[in-house]
Each structure stands twice: as structure tokens, then as C-alpha cells.
Amino acid sequence: LCPTDFDRLLRMVAPLIERQDTTLRQAIGPAERLAICLWFLATGDSYHTISKSFRVGKSTVVGIVPSVATAIWESLVGEYMPVPQESDWRAIAEGFSSKWAFPHCLGAIDGKHITIKAPADSGSLYYNYKGQFSIVLLAVVDANYLFRVVDIGAFGKSSDGGTLSASALGRALRDGTLNLPDDEPLPNGEHLGKVPFVFVGDEAFPLRKHLLRPYPGRAIPADQRIFNFRLSHARRIVENAFGIMAAQFRVYHRVMELSPCNAEKIVQATTILHNFIRWGHQNSPSTTGSADPGTALNAAGRMGSNTASREALAVREKYREYFNSPCGAVPWQNKVILDGLMES
């Protein structure tokens, strides 16, 4: 954070983190409390190291970091991660259409494991498929690398059993309570009829009416390869967002020595701070750090059943047909056909 952003953030969180002096000691001021929390997020240093740097007790740091992280989330979430309404979804879709050549896209979705130390007496609840203990961050990212919806805290072991379906996002998507725009034709694609607005994800996600995933396999026809290429071109935005966040907050570059509850607070704080930092720079998004999402961020694996309804299959077919037609094709997509010929 630059000094201006720090002062602006301090004004927003100070009422929640300010403490009163007592007859026995003078309270640590809100500016120092915020600085201690931000130092932990930015460096990932241990509580012991931070206590020495700020000349406060280790137990003081232990209390400050999660409480200030909670205050950051509560102070910023209403402004920097508001619940999207229909107009917001349409604005997101316009961003993906103009910047990433994927119309009707409501966001790129992905899940990441946040590696934590083994919680006491938790059994296998947090034990994931990579042999680590973790909680899951499920996120929807817009065309400007902003987190628009996050679901944090699912057990690491649930990565293969439907994290998406069990999340608030999955339930809202299933129940039709996300305020999504009504189906309408794609640009210049009236011949395909009305097409749903969709989220884009990788092969870890199930195929649904409002959620597209790639065609499976490698030896697939050219038109399916083009669809996969166009989908991947839009979907990589969420991977970039995770990478940018991990580059800014090095707490993700090591295993979090925190309880699941406190780790969830840290993830909440970093996602909302990511938006806070970038909110005024949507028109010139930076991909700095996008290549490495951090050692404590790992792919979440399969998010649900691979079975798909006929309706979902028909939606994907319409997008495939659109991307392979003159009205929806872009010149650079032919690269995937040339790559396929070279491989064969």
C-alpha cells in the first residue's frame, strides 16, 4: 500500500480496531495495529519475528492480526465486494466481451487450497488429495482481476466431493437466486436463439446451464479445440488474480501456521485488500505475479460430478458453434488449429 492508500484504509477500519487506554497501560494505536496486520499479510513473517520488529509482545501480535483482519473485511466488503445485481453481472459480461473475447461471461471461477498446519483433533477433515491440510478458497473473478464472489473455509478433503455444490455460490446458482440476466442472443448470433449468461471454469467443474467447462480429451475435433482455447483464454483471468494476490501477500508463500478459523480471516482480508488496491485501476490491469500463485495456493481438484444435463450440453454446443462461425470468430483463434496440426 502507498501512504495515501494506508491512510484511506486506516480511516475506514480505525473505528473497529481502536482500543481505550487503561490505568495500567497505554493502548496500541489503530495505525500501529493496522501496520502489524499488513506486515504479516505482506511478508508472512512469524508472530515472533513481527513482535521483535514492532517491539510488542508475541501474544499481542497473536491477538492483533486476526482481529484487524476481521475488521478489514467487515469495513471494506460492502464497498469493494458488494453482492452483484443484474446490472453488475451485465457490466462484468461486457468486460469479458470487450477484453477477453468471450461474450455473456459472468466471471471466471476457480478453487484453490490454502495450505495450513494440521488442526488439532480434526482427523481427515482438512486432509486433501495432495497429502496436505487445507481450507478451500472458491472465487469468481471479473475481467479486471477483481474478486466478485468468494466462498472461503470449505474442508480440504471436500475437493473431490462437490465444494461448489456445497458452497453458498453453488446453492445460489442452483436455486436461481444470483440475480443473473435473462437469456438473450449472443452478439450477431440471433440464429442460435437465446443463450444463457455463463461462468467459465476448468475441467474440475461440472457442466451446468450457467457454468461452462472445456470439452474433455486431447484428440478432439478442431471446432472443439477452438472452443476450449476461447474458454481457456477467458478462464485464465482467475489464475492470474490468484497469482497477483499471492505476489502482493507473501503469507501465501508458506504454510499458514494458523487455526482454520484464523486462516479464513486472513484469506478474507487478502481478497478484499486485493480489490481495495486495484479498484481504481480496472482499465489498466497488471498481471504481475500471475505466473506463480504461491506455495500455499494449490489447485482444488475436481469440484463435482462430471455428469451434465442435456440442457447444459446444448448450451456448450451453442457457444462452440458461435465461436466457429463468422459472427463469433476472432483471427487469433486459428493458432490452436495450427498447433494441433503441428502436434499431429
- In tens, the pLDDT along 251-276 reads 999 999 999 999 999 999 999 999 99
Q: Return the half-sphere exposure (C-beta side, CA atoms, 13 A cut-off) of residue 308.
A: 22
Tell me which of 62-66, 76-80, 281-285, 302-306 is least confident: 281-285
Residue 150 makes CB contacts below 8 A (sequence gap 6+) with 81, 137, 138, 139, 140, 267, 268, 271
More confident residue, 45 or 153: 45
pLDDT of residue 122: 78
Measured distance CA(295)–CA(317) in Å, rounded: 37
> pLDDT tier at 76 (50, 70, 90 boundaries)?
very high
Calculate mean pLDDT across residues 66-73. 97
By DSSP bridging, strand 198-200 and strand 105-116 are parallel
3 state SS of 222: helix
Calculate mean pLDDT across residues 181-191. 94
Q: What percent of the chain has pLDDT over 70?
A: 87
The closest of 143, 115, 149 to 131, measured between CA atoms, is: 115
pLDDT of residue 318: 97
pLDDT exceeds cutoff 70 at 201 = yes
Calculate mean pLDDT across residues 117-132. 82
Measured distance CA(146)–CA(18) in Å, rounded: 29
Q: What is the rounded average pLDDT for all residues in the chain?
A: 87
pLDDT exceeds cutoff 90 at 323 = yes
More confident residue, 220 or 147: 147
pLDDT of residue 291: 47
> pLDDT tier at 283 (50, 70, 90 boundaries)?
very low
Segment 6-21, tens digit of pLDDT: 999 999 999 999 988 8
pLDDT of residue 339: 64
pLDDT exceeds cutoff 80 at 116 = yes
More confident residue, 63 or 153: 63
pLDDT of residue 130: 78
Measured distance CA(113)–CA(195) in Å, rounded: 33
Calculate mean pLDDT across residues 106-135. 86
Phi-psi region of 217 (alpha: psi -120 to 50; beta: other; left: phi over 0): left
> pLDDT tier at 234 (50, 70, 90 boundaries)?
very high
pLDDT of residue 164: 82
